[in-house]
Structure formats: C-alpha cells, structure tokens
Amino acid sequence: MSARQVEPQISAVHPRETTELFGHREAEAALLNAYRSGRIPHAWLIGGASGIGKATLAYRMARFVLAHRDSFSPEVQRAETLFVDPSNPIARHVAAGAHGGLLTLERTVNDKGVLRSVITVDETRETISFFGSTAAAEGWRVCIVDTVEDLNPNAANALLKVLEEPPRQSLFLLVSHAPARLLPTILSRCRKLPLRPLSTEDVVRAAVQATGIAPDDPALAEAADAAEGSVARALTLLGGDALKLQQRTANLLKNLPRVDPRELHALGEALPLSDRVALSAFIDGVDRWVGEKLRADDPNANLARLARLAEVWEKISRAARDTAEYNLERKPLVFSVFGMLAEAVR
C-alpha cells in the first residue's frame, strides 16, 4: 500500500551503515537459525510497512554472512544475534558500499543527477555477472533489492531468471513494502519474512540512533506517537510543520466524497515547491487513510469498492513519484488526489 517515501530533510544514517537493530528479534533469529543450520533458503522476502527496519535487517544479515563464511563455525553456532562489530573490516566495507561480495539493487540517479523512479533492467542484469564471477567460489555472494516494487517489469523478469537457477552460496534479500503486489513467480521462490511495525519506544530509540536528536525532545515524542511504528514516518513528521499538515490532510479526507475547492487551494499552497518533507507528509496522510478504508471494508461485500480504491492508489503513487522526481507544482497533485478519491468512494 505504501508509496515510496519522499526523502526527509532530517539527515539519517543509511541502512548499510546502521549496525543496531531495534525490534524484529524473532525475524533476526529466523535468519540466524536458518544460516547456522547449513540449509538456508537462497531467497528471502522481507516484507512490511515502510520505514520499520526491513533494509536495516537485510544489511545486518549480509554483514553477518560475509563476515562468517562457514555457517558451522563456533562463532556462528554461539551467536545470539546477527551483530557484527562496526570496526570489523567487512562491516566497514559494507558501510562504504565497497564490499565485492555484496550487490545492492536500488534506485539510482540518472545522467542529470535526478533519482530514477524505477530500478532498470540493465542494473538488474548485473546480478548475472555478479553471481557468475569466479570470485563467488571464494565465499558467499549477497544481493539486496531495496525495494522489489521499484523494479520495472523487465527488471523483475531479469531478477526472476537468477532466482530460478540460484548459484551456489548465493543469498538474495528482497525488501518489499507490499509483498502481495509482487509477481507470483517471485513470491513462490522466496521464504517470506514479514516484519511488524515497531513499538513507539523502538521508534524513538531508532530515530535517536539515526539522527542524533535528543531522546527527550518533545517533537520526537509527538512524531513517534503518530508514526504507527515507522521510523521513516517519524523522521518525516519531525520536519517543519509536517505533523500539522498531515492532520490537516486527514481532516479533509474525512469529508470525502465532499470536496471544498477553497480548502484544496489552501492545502496546495501549504506544499511549496522543492519542500520534500511537506510533500511526503501529504502523501503519507493519504496512504494511511486509504489503508484504513481498505482494512475497514468487508472484502466480500465491497469487492468493487476495494478494486476502485486499489486502482486509484496505484495512480496516486505514480503521480506522487513523478511530482517528487521532477519537482512539479503540488497544487495540481492535491486536486487530482482528492478528485480521484472522491470518485472512488462515492
């Protein structure tokens, strides 16, 4: 359900540099136990809401496997978590994005310095040469896809070909905000590892660790309470008046299908050009509202309504990505979003 989050202005540490994991102890134990059994599935789908630590867990697993090639070694058998000391050369190389045994597929910038909206097929085809290199015989090769939803159709098919015939000592860690929307053929080749939203306490601790903000900051407490278990959402809400803007959006959504053009104009004015935090807060508010509607409806009695909402949200997600990527005017997006939602719930 979640749209790709627009990057908040608050500086946060990249998951590959994050060595501490908050929450998700059962999921971490599942990965560790599978690895030291010597029969670990070659592909894992780490699913859950945006910003709850899925990529952090993926990099944590990658570091551990690359630092402990022998799953039956005493160190692995005694390990209680996937922690690898940040001073370890493997951890330093992973943090710098310079480890030869780790390939990350994620959205990159184009020749003009603009972040692409998808992961391309050419980038995904790198997995073939990566896993086919002679260096693979020297140890594990790990590929992290962050996120699978960002793969364009051709890229998804290219990844599927590698998943169908995985090389020896290969490990795929696929991060997904919406696993149910993925290709059934990809789903069938992965071990599912769903993650739950974090507790409010863990959101606070993770935000402090990622940004250095004071743990007793009142704004952090307010953002964490409203974040519904997502650190990314908490960081977004910490930016400027994002929390107030999200509440304002929620109030307008409550009135649907009635729409007041004057209120929409005012909301559009509150989303200044180049303000990514405000745009993220707006889209996140819409995302939460649609999610609540879908969960509240009886799927047997409202199939047509559910289909309309799901289709509309796909269009909103694309429009939001284009608006952020090309820095388009926000007001047309506001009117388009409310117009589509009003028609869907009528």
- Distance (Å, whole) CA 295 – CA 10: 31
| Token pair of 45 as six digits | 């789908």
Q: What is the pTM of this model?
A: 0.77
Range scoring the smallest mean pLDDT among 3-7, 87-91, 144-148, 339-343: 3-7
- 281: confidence class by pLDDT, cuts 50, 70, 90: confident
pLDDT in tens, 100-151: 999 999 988 888 777 788 899 999 998 888 887 644 446 899 999 999 999 9
Superfamily holding 15-194: P-loop containing nucleotide triphosphate hydrolases (3.40.50.300)
Closest CA to 289 of 320, 319, 246, 260: 246
Q: Quick one: how far is CA 282 from the chain centroid?
A: 18
DSSP three-state, residue 184: helix
- Distance (Å, whole) CA 145 – CA 213: 29
- 49: confidence class by pLDDT, cuts 50, 70, 90: confident
Domains of the chain, residue spans: 15-194, 240-345
- Distance (Å, whole) CA 158 – CA 204: 39
Regarding predicted confidence, which is higher, 281 or 306? 281
Closest CA to 204 of 191, 188, 187, 216: 216
pLDDT value at residue 181: 80
pLDDT value at residue 4: 38
